[in-house]
């Protein structure tokens, strides 16, 4: 897998899975725009790691819930590395909080949809005009999009299920232009996401049920994303790839 001379945007690229993806793509030769919003220290640390290993990257702050900010992220990337965007990884998103139906209000629901789904749409809208034939988009969905998620994650799961559907639709729409669109659906990955929202006893229970008997790592997710971003998967589009150690099958 080789990405020399290509330009990539990784949204939410400063920490956890986003960091691992940014580092992996840079190690394969890509110029990487590391997007962040409220984690500037983490983004700068990721940038420093890439540069220390001879990679080329920039860090760009942008609020992806705003139309103009999505377009500015693409414009700043183009100015830094050239007009084309060859790889778009839509990783930004989150659970925010676990809330059951009776605990959610309209504002919470809308915030989750903006964070996890609307941002993906707007980044497609901003980046695709800059993407030549042979480009690739990889969206980060979730196992929750397949199985409804854990307790209090219905809004998150719904948004990620929509990302999976949007991925299929974009694969059909953008395929004639030579742009591939796929998604990755992580299960239990050892990140601050689960450090924050998943109790240790639940994590242990899920790991014990997983055929591989462990949680996954951010680097393992990054390896899959990198493969989908490369020409090694040049005839793969519209697919949602599970990465969960065998716990759930599509």
- Concerning whether 37 is annotated as a catalytic residue, the answer is no
Beta strand extents in the chain (DSSP E only): 7-10, 31-36, 56-61, 87-90, 136-140, 180-186, 240-243
The residues with which 37 forms a beta bridge, in sequence order, are none
Active-site residue identified among 69, 86, 144, 156: 156
> What's the rounded Cα separation, in Å, for the pair 33 and 19?
11
Length of the chain: 250
Q: What is the DSSP letter of 216?
A: B
Local structure of 12: helix, strand or coil: coil
Q: Mind giving me the DSSP string for 126-160?
A: HHGGGPPTT-EEEEE--THHHH--STT-HHHHHHH
> What's the rounded Cα separation, in Å, for the pair 209 and 222?
23
Residues belonging to the active site = 156
């Amino acid at each position: 897998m080789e990405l020399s001379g290509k330009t990539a945007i990784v949204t939410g690229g400063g920490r956890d899975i986003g960091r691992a993806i940014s580092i992996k793509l840079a190690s394969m030769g890509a110029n990487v725009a590391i997007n962040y919003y409220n984690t500037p220290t983490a983004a700068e640390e990721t940038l420093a790691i890439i540069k220390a290993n001879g990679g080329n990257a920039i860090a760009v702050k942008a609020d992806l819930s705003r139309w103009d900010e999505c377009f500015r992220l693409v414009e700043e990337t183009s100015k830094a590395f050239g007009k084309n965007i060859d790889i778009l990884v839509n990783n930004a998103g989150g659970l925010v909080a676990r809330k059951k139906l009776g605990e959610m209000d309209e504002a919470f629901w809308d915030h989750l949809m903006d964070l996890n789904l609307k941002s993906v749409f707007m980044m497609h809208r901003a980046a695709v005009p800059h993407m030549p034939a042979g480009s690739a988009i990889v969206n980060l969905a979730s196992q929750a999009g397949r199985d409804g998620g854990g307790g209090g994650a219905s809004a998150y799961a719904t948004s990620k299920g929509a990302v999976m559907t949007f991925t299929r639709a974009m694969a059909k729409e953008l395929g004639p232009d030579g742009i591939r669109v796929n998604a990755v659906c992580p299960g239990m990955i050892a990140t601050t996401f689960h450090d924050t929202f998943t109790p240790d006893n639940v994590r242990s229970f899920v790991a014990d049920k997983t055929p591989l008997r462990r949680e996954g790592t951010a680097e393992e997710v990054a390896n899959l994303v990198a493969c989908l971003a490369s020409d090694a998967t040049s005839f793969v589009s519209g697919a949602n790839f599970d990465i969960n150690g065998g716990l759930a099958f599509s």
